[in-house]
Amino acid sequence: MGMNRSHARIVISFIFFVSLISISSVFAVRSASAQTTACSDLSYDLYSGLADRGDDNSVLLLQRYLAGSGYLAATPNGYFGPATLAAVKSLQRANGISTTGRVGPQTRAAIKSLSCRTTAVTPSSQTSQTVLTPVVQNVTIPVASEMMVGNKYTITWHPRTGTIYNLTLDDQYGIGAGYVATNVSGGRYEWTVGEIYSARTRSNTILTPGRYSFRAQDVNKGALPTDERSVLFTLLPKPIVISSITPSSAPNDDKTAVVIYGSGFDASSRIRFDGYSDGYATAPLYISADGRVLVFTVPRGIYPSIRSVRVNNTYESNATSSPSNAIDFIVTPS
């Protein structure tokens, strides 16, 4: 009988001990769930061209923060490329930091301050999650899938009352390409396709054919992740037309001027002489502002013969060439 009572006391003590552990665990869980933290604390500077290696995922952590905050549209991949660079600059601009694109001490501190937030949870809502302020979804600006340089296109967006806008273009990596228009309102602007103002060169210029998207920025706020923007569209070059060439023959002395009349010529134009290997190319001496006159000389390396002369506009950004007409031309000995 004594043994039974002793055994009972041991069992009761064990149950009491387990109960204390269980109660402590509940309070620990509740205490832990009483606050949630989403934190991007970068320990060192990050910059363009950097890639995560081994167990270091600093770039990936940065990209996840940028994507979650609406600055980065690309999928985080651990490589600090052009899209990440543009996103960092947007973040810096929005937070009054010099837009260097480098994630230095000031930018790292801003990211830590913005992301490392502890949110208290009341006992009555222990299962609730931390509520982050959602990024307002962009309203897509209608856009044609393809546009040709020189044509007209009407850009439309959803303006806020009393707001003045700058219309800009970003390239396919999210990097600013130039201004379409500044200080406009009313939600409508007719654009001569390809014409932009470059802040880099401080001049009006023709956009290089490629992939772009529009952005409507509040002039008082600059570029923000919530700006209205379009999907990517393809900018096509003007087709080249060759109507005549004069003179119709010239020596290969690299001195005699030859004039081609037509349209669609620009700074990237190159003259090719078919029939010589895969086409000998040379740069023009002069191109008129309206793209209708091109002047070149025949290089010394061209063997005298009847050649088919054509003009191509080749763009380094995407290595594409516009359609080209050709015209017969006689190369004579110098």
Length of the chain equals 334
Q: Which residues contact 66 (CB under 8 A, 6 or more apart)?
A: 72, 84, 87, 88, 91
| Residue 181 identity (one-letter amino acid) | A
Kindly state the tokens that stand for 88: 């960092």
On whether the pTM is more than 0.95, the answer is no
Residue whose C-alpha is closest to residue 283's, from 268, 301, 264: 268
In the chain, domain spans: 37-123, 146-235, 241-332
Report pLDDT for 332: 95
Residue whose C-alpha is closest to residue 333's, from 232, 252, 233, 225: 252
Q: What tens-digit pLDDT sequence spans the chain (334 residues)?
A: 445 555 545 444 544 444 444 444 433 433 433 333 457 888 889 998 888 887 788 898 898 888 878 788 878 888 898 889 988 998 888 888 888 999 998 999 889 888 875 333 334 333 333 333 333 344 567 777 888 888 899 999 888 888 999 999 988 877 888 999 999 988 899 999 989 998 777 888 888 888 899 999 999 888 787 888 888 888 887 788 899 999 999 999 999 999 999 988 887 788 888 754 445 778 899 999 888 999 999 998 888 989 889 888 765 444 445 667 889 999 999 8
3-class secondary structure, 2: helix
The long-range contacts involving 10-16, CB below 8 angstroms and separated by at least 24 positions, are: none
Distance set, CA 273 to CA 168, 287, 297, 330, 334 (Å) = 39, 18, 12, 10, 17
Phi, psi of 37 (to 5 degrees): -130, 125
**Same fold for the pair 37-123 and 241-332:** no
CA–CA distance, 4 with 59 (Å, rounded to integer) = 66
Kindly state the tokens that stand for 251: 């020596």
CB atoms within 10 A of CB 284: 18
Q: Which residues contact 177 (CB under 8 A, 6 or more apart)?
A: 168, 169, 170, 171, 196, 207, 212
Report pLDDT for 167: 94
- Fold (CATH) for 37-123: Muramoyl-pentapeptide Carboxypeptidase; domain 1 (1.10.101)
| Residue 284 identity (one-letter amino acid) | P
Q: Which residues contact 182 (CB under 8 A, 6 or more apart)?
A: 166, 167, 197, 219
The CATH code of the domain at 241-332 is 2.60.40.10
CA–CA distance, 147 with 149 (Å, rounded to integer) = 7
CATH fit for domain 146-235, picks 2.60.40, 2.40.128, 3.40.50, 1.10.405: 2.60.40
Kindly state the tokens that stand for 11: 């069992």
